[in-house]
Structure 1
Amino acid sequence: MNKRNVDVVVISDVHLGTYGCHAKELLKYLKSIKPKTLILNGDIIDIWQFSKSYWPESHMKIIRKLMKFVSEGVQVHYLTGNHDEMLRKFDGMEMGTFHLQNKLILELDGKKAWFFHGDVFDVTMQHSKWLAKLGAVGYDTLILINSFVNWVLTAFGREKMSFSKKIKAKFKDAVKFINSFEQTAAELAIEKGYEYVVCGHIHQAEQREIATEQGKVTYLNSGDWVESLTALEYQDKNWTVFKYEYQHFTKDELDEGILSDAEDLKSKLDINILLQNIKYEIAQ
């Protein structure tokens, strides 16, 4: 299969180490592209909920694929989020073409783009971190239950459903928060003179122009790989939102080496084995 050339790819909120992560789908997507720059915009590894008892082989394959990008000379920027905030103290660390940062500014065809995760706008994160962590556990449990329900629905030929999307749609406060988040990001970007502002955090893929009295900016959000299965791609001076569609990634060579759901759940790695694998990959 021919890989697509993409100048810049942005993914966020993968949440490796949780049951809700769609690692196999993400791996297929990463294998289908040839990026010049890959931006991991926060919450890639869910350190908040990291458990010794759950690290499937498919999650390790994502780490290996990212390391392979680095070995191939792809510029990989890991921007920290709230679920991997313990990495923020290593801001500025570089290993070859791998860069660990809290935020990033790139010039794309003469226009400045500002990348950061976006949890700085979350009031819950700033004042009640314990509540945010409790909510994250509840969200992961909801996703796990939702996955089982969707498995049953699929078995009976019914359409899948998203619990969290239905909950968000029913609560006006959730919609209000998202709108406020986007507006705040846009206003700051306009104030700083950026043409693009690119975030993650809210699991809501978006691309739209936001105008204020001070100017306008293109707001972008890469969504997530828990429910939306989306990414941002920049090619030929244009941004697009990529949406993973199962029918485009089935029964082909991309499936080679990817475990089935049943096998994957059995392939749990102890944390020590995980660290040994990472050390091995770095040494190669």
Structure 2
Amino acid sequence: MIKREIDIAIISDVHLGTYGCHAKELLKYLKSIKPKMLILNGDIIDIWQFSKSYFPEEHTKVIRKILKFVTDGVPVYYLTGNHDEMLRKFADFKMGGFQLLNKLVLDVDGKKAWVFHGDVFDVTMQHSKWLAKLGAIGYDTLIHINSFTNWILLKMGKKKYSFSQKIKASVKEAVKFINEFEQTAAELAIEKQYSFVICGHIHQPEIREIITEKGSVTYLNSGDWVESLTALEYNNQVWSIYKHDTSLIDSEEDSLEEKEDLNNMLNVKELFEKFKQEVA
């Protein structure tokens, strides 16, 4: 497979360790690109719902592929989110080209980009964390049921249907949560004189210019790998949203690459052991 060379790739809200995670599709995407920098903008591993009984091989392969970027010399920034907030106490941890942070400010062709997950703007997260966690479990269960429903619909020759997107759309229209989230992020970024503000968290891919009385900023959101299956890409001084192409298939070259990765790189257990030694 010929890999697409891009300057920056940003993914968020992967939720590894949950039934809703499309790890196989994400792995195909990661195999298809050759980024100069990779940013993981929160909720990559869903520690809230992590269970030893459910962490399929496809989910482990995603971690291995990310580690392969590190061993290949690609800077990888892991920014913490609410579902992996337990990692926040280890912020500023660095190992080779891998760095764990809560937020990141980048110089992008002479313009400042402010990158963070975005849960800081979520009132539920700040004041009723137990309710947010309960909602996350319900959301994952709904996704699991929806997967079975869509399997039946496809067998019947009908299109897939998203229960959660339908529910979220109606709720968010009522409370105008998305617009308030985006507006808040934009206003703060304008005050800090950033050109770009880049978030995740709300699972809503977006690129748009937001103008206020104090100025303007480009707001970007990388979406998620539960339903949207999207990423942000920056190349040739242009931001774009990548939408997963379901026609991508594994090639023999990919299989050989994967075997080579397993033979030549740190495995996941070794990485965690080294991580524990570094933070001890």
Asked if these proteins are the same fold (TM beyond 0.5), I'd say yes
Q: Residue 260 of structure 2 aligns with which residue?
A: none
Q: Secondary structure at the match of 1:47?
A: coil
Q: Residue 140 of structure 2 aligns with which residue?
A: 140
Q: Residue 158 of structure 1 aligns with which residue?
A: 158
Alignment of 1:194-209 (within 5 A): 194-209=194-209
Q: 1:129-169 CA deviation, whole Å, 9 max, x = no partner?
A: 00000000000000000111111111222111111111122
Q: Which amino acid aligns with 1:250?
A: I
Q: Secondary structure at the match of 1:154?
A: helix
After the TM superposition, which parts of structure 1 deviate over 6 Å for at least 4 consecutive aligned residues? none
> 1:54/1:276 Cα in 2 relative to 1: closer, same or farther (>3 Å)?
farther
Q: Residue 244 of structure 1 aligns with which residue?
A: 244
Structure 1's unaligned 5+ residue stretches are 258-272
CA distance, structure 2, for counterparts of residue 280 and residue 58 of structure 1: 23
Q: Residue 109 of structure 1 aligns with which residue?
A: 109
Q: Secondary structure at the match of 1:161?
A: coil
Q: CA deviation at 1:279?
A: 4.8
TM-score by length of 2: 0.91
> 1:37/1:276 Cα in 2 relative to 1: closer, same or farther (>3 Å)?
closer
Are the equivalent residues in 1 in contact too, given 2:183–2:210 (CA < 8 A)?
A: yes
Alignment of 1:210-225 (within 5 A): 210-225=210-225
Stretch moving more, 169-178 or 26-35: 169-178
Stretch moving more, 152-161 or 178-187: 152-161
**How many residues are treated as equivalent by the alignment?**
267
Are the equivalent residues in 2 in contact too, given 1:209–1:216 (CA < 8 A)?
A: yes
Q: Secondary structure at the match of 1:64?
A: helix
Q: Residue 263 of structure 1 aligns with which residue?
A: none
> 1:139/1:178 Cα in 2 relative to 1: closer, same or farther (>3 Å)?
same
Percent of matched pairs sharing the same residue: 70
CA distance, structure 2, for counterparts of residue 193 and residue 15 of structure 1: 32
CA distance, structure 1, for counterparts of residue 275 and residue 100 of structure 2: 18
Q: Residue 63 of structure 1 aligns with which residue?
A: 63
Are the equivalent residues in 1 in contact too, given 2:64–2:268 (CA < 8 A)?
A: no
Q: CA deviation at 1:251?
A: 6.0
Structure 2's unaligned 5+ residue stretches are 257-266
TM-score by length of 1: 0.89
Q: Residue 92 of structure 1 aligns with which residue?
A: 92
CA root-mean-square deviation: 2.1
CA distance, structure 1, for counterparts of residue 166 and residue 173 of structure 2: 13
Q: Which amino acid aligns with 2:131?
A: L
Alignment of 1:26-41 (within 5 A): 26-41=26-41
Q: Residue 50 of structure 2 aligns with which residue?
A: 50
Q: Secondary structure at the match of 2:191?
A: helix
> 1:113/1:58 Cα in 2 relative to 1: closer, same or farther (>3 Å)?
same
Q: Which amino acid aligns with 1:64?
A: R
